[in-house]
Amino acid sequence: MHVMQLRSPWKIDRNDGSGLLRCELPDFSPSRADQVVYQRSFNRPTGLVPEQRLWLFIQEWMGLVVSLTVNGCAMDIGSTELACQVEISRYLERHNVIELRLAAVGDVQPRLVGPVELRIESVT
């Protein structure tokens, strides 16, 4: 398996009229937003062949996952409250965009607090 960390630049929209702002992960910036949207662009990994699969792995967040999309296509992550991993091979384009929408749960503010990775695995 080959792992690529999706570090900066991430963008965040706190739905407070401030628009898209740059942020670092983990994101512990103060916020009173009930919902936030994280975005990250990336190019198709070079050398990816049909015998390989590309997975998006999100290790940790706070709040509730409202939606996860890759290039506008909704990903089904089930009802997980912990890390999630989804195969995104069939949704890949030359230039790609991940969008993760999180909502507050009680007093827990929505935040992306763990690493996000692309994982390339060979089909056996």
Ordered mean pLDDT values, 10 residues apiece, the chain (124 residues):
91 86 91 92 93 95 95 86 90 97 93 96 87
**pLDDT at position 104, please?**
93
CATH architecture for the domain at 2-122: Sandwich (2.60)
**pLDDT at position 61, please?**
94
**pLDDT at position 18, please?**
79
Q: Which residues contact 58 (CB under 8 A, 6 or more apart)?
A: 68, 83, 84, 85, 100, 112, 114, 116
Contact predicate 12/35, CB 8 Å:
no
**pLDDT at position 80, please?**
67
**pLDDT at position 57, please?**
96
Domain extents in the chain: 2-122
d(CA 38, CA 5): 16
Strands (E), 1-124: 2-5, 10-13, 20-23, 35-43, 52-58, 61-62, 64-70, 73-74, 84-87, 95-103, 111-112, 116-122
**pLDDT at position 79, please?**
67
DSSP 59: -
d(CA 38, CA 10): 7
Give the chain's radius of gyration (CA, Å).
15
